[in-house]
Structure 1
């Protein structure tokens, strides 16, 4: 889990995501009539649009007004509550928006989000191609509005009425069974054939697969929940929820400097994830525009797995033993062979006794692309914690989501290698699995999947 994980926190991915962001067209939060910032008041009084305050400007204002760390003042970010007749500008976390329309669907190369929901639906009895088409049209329209910071519909629940878009993304995919239900078997991609069985699998069929898959991500939990409820309501009588999983990541700004994500084992997770800046990135992650079938052009395949971490067993290990299992330093993510997080791992380095510094079964060694015939996948997971089970054991771990142009060349070779002797296998359990074809992004005036359903 450690070496090829989420792209959102790599510098290249952050630059890519930042370039995609636009101001919301109609944010839920109204512009302030009486801003605490004099420049904002002046702009408002002259009829100019009031702009949201940037994070840098917000922190600068806090410093200027005496909000400083120490006994004499409140910590930065904990200002006094505004009076009832005043509003405050959105922080950049709330104001950031992602584009719904584009070459690829959002939520694939988007920077890692703080909150996520993964949901699978099955078409109901009697629902076929026509009902599925109408549903994807509704879902796409709702996702576009919500990602722009607008109300979901005229009868919106207003759950996130006073929030901005908060980098909300909604991503849609099709499972293997969808094609038989809609009479589109001839359009089902070969790459969507069921995944092979793995010896480490303990899969719950009720929480695996599904006709339709929806991934929701946002940097505000209420915004993510609002999107979840809106899409569930839109399903109407056409589809019912098969399973739902809820996850989280670190909030933007929670660390002093950007870093790769940490998982619930405390390990830096995602050091060797493919980066959009790499010349072969698109070829590894996305189906080419001339791909087969044509409706999957610029799309990708998502493997989704609920991986439970046996934290009680893991936490009994010493820090040194944990590092040997992973092959990297827990504090910095640097390989045990030396250097920094980004240093290339020296797989042949030995200690004074002639033992390999990076153990032969270390997770980071086994998952390296050069140890798997070049197999690579873009991992973008969420952590989860669903309380304590009947035995008093934490039900926590990783909602693993990985993207690739072909799962038989991405996920499958790596998982087979892990199956044969990964030291981490003693501390994790794969409990559910799904594979979904995620078509390319919808052009303006289109809905996601239109080229399949109306082709």
Structure 2
């Protein structure tokens, strides 16, 4: 069994001591599963400890910095030690503290600071930091092969994708979401600094303008094509559906994933210039929704249930058979749903005057084999939207459950 390096506990300072003192409450929370806590305002902190990791059902923040790491150390003990250090730093940063005990300016002048400093004076801004482990981490280097969940099966080759290997996959991912982009970047930068010599950045992605709402208290956001996105997906208020569709349950797989979830990422480049020259009528037929209100065609309001049997005066379906909303709807996939946390991205231009822009799609679910895979297979085959998009990056990660208290750390149950 791997034990936590107790030296790491001191990095939490008073916050860590307080968390240890509430261990009984944390254990109760694990058993009872209270509703996820959220920041009271966009400047306030989000609790770090709990039954599930923050950053999944947490009301989606406006900014994202996502990174995928390759593990470079060959020593299991070094990897565990780094995960302990990461956990302490993450717990501190999400509460608005520096990444390390002495911060950006409090240590010895001759030594590198414990924090990079760009978040000095800034509030926590609702920062959440969520970790996941990729299939490649279970390749035998660290004796984890027998603990690889069946649900972490490699994604199949989908139609209409052209993946780039250098921006796909990875051993460990970290998702940092915040309402201030500097806070999200600060979090990733410091974890990469702490992990130097043990991990290296494989790829990363900045995102802005959330394209999904994870709470019914949030308005539905728009993607760069101008349409409301993810209307019918899971929300944090859907308690029964979350148990059924989002959280891994005992018996699903190895016990270390009980209460966790599986994350799929897809970088979807949009042919922005071609889309912008397409008529409004065709755009709406492609999505199957009204662009202004977001209502399904034939309906009046965004959350009206789509009527897939309705036909126009000419006898053709009001919502086309290859419309995105029809193909992605739960009724087309045995009720399968996803919890989405997507973000818009613009990565400059491609040198030919075309924007390198689109959607960085993030979806959480209980089992990708039964949820994301069948949905995306159908979309890849017949979605009329495929003329305007291309999937260029893909990732799959097992996100373990939340941490009990300051004596816990990311990956403890996996490496036990």
Aligned partners of 1:274 and 1:22: how far apart in 2? 20
Post-superposition CA distance 1:97-137 (Å, at most 9, x none): 1111111111101111111011011111x423212111111
Q: What is the 5 A alignment of 1:42-53?
A: none
The correspondence of residues 358-377 of structure 1 with structure 2, limited to 5 A, is 358-377=319-338
Distance in 2, matches of 1:97 and 1:318, equals 44
Partner residue, 2:54: 106
Shift of 1:22: 5.6
Correspondence for 1:349: 310
State the Cα distance separating 1:289 from its structure 2 match.
Answer: 4.0
Contact in 2 for aligned 1:102/1:441 (Cα 8 Å): yes
What is the CA-CA distance between 1:393 and the residue it aligns to?
Answer: 1.2
Q: TM-score, structure 2 length as denominator?
A: 0.84
Secondary structure of 1:447's counterpart equals: coil
> With structure 1 as the length reference, what TM-score do the two structures score?
0.77
SS of 1:280 mapped into structure 2:
helix
Q: 1:402 aligns to what SS in structure 2?
A: strand
Moved over 6 A (4+): 16-19
The 1:217/1:17 distance shift into structure 2, 3 A limit, reads farther
Asked if the contact 1:202–1:431 (Cα under 8 Å) also holds between the matched residues in 2, the reply is: yes
> Which digits, 9 at most, give the CA deviation of each residue in 1:34-63, with x for residues without a partner?
xxxxxxxxxxxxxxxxxxxxxxxxxxxxxx
Q: Find out whether 1:451 has 2:413 as its counterpart.
A: yes
Tell me by how many angstroms 1:17 deviates.
12
Q: CA deviation at 1:21?
A: 3.2
CA deviation vs aligned residue, 1:351-399 (integer Å, no higher than 9, x gap): 1111211111100011001111222111111110001002221100011
Change (3 A) 1:329 1:18: farther
Distance 1:97 1:241, change over 3 A: same
Indicate the SS of the match to 1:101: coil
Structure 1's 370 and 202: CA in aligned 2 closer, same or farther, altered over 3 A?
same
Residue 194 in structure 1 maps to residue 158 in structure 2: no
Change (3 A) 1:379 1:19: closer
RMSD: 1.9
Shift of 1:276: 2.9
How do 1:110-189 residues align onto structure 2 when only pairs under 5 Å count? 110-124=58-72, 126-153=73-100, 154=102, 155=113, 156-180=115-139, 181-189=141-149
Give unmatched runs, 5+ long, in structure 2: 1-32, 103-112, 212-216
171, 181, 184: which is aligned to 1:221?
Answer: 181
Larger radius of gyration: 1
Partner residue of 1:11? none
Quote the Cα distance in structure 2 between the aligned partners of 1:365 and 1:430.
20
Q: 1:17 to 1:306 in 2, by over 3 A?
A: farther
Q: How many residues align?
A: 365
* 1:286 corresponds to which of 233, 247, 250: 247
Paired residues of 1:372 and 1:417 also in contact (CA < 8 A): no
2:170 to 202, 205, 210: 210
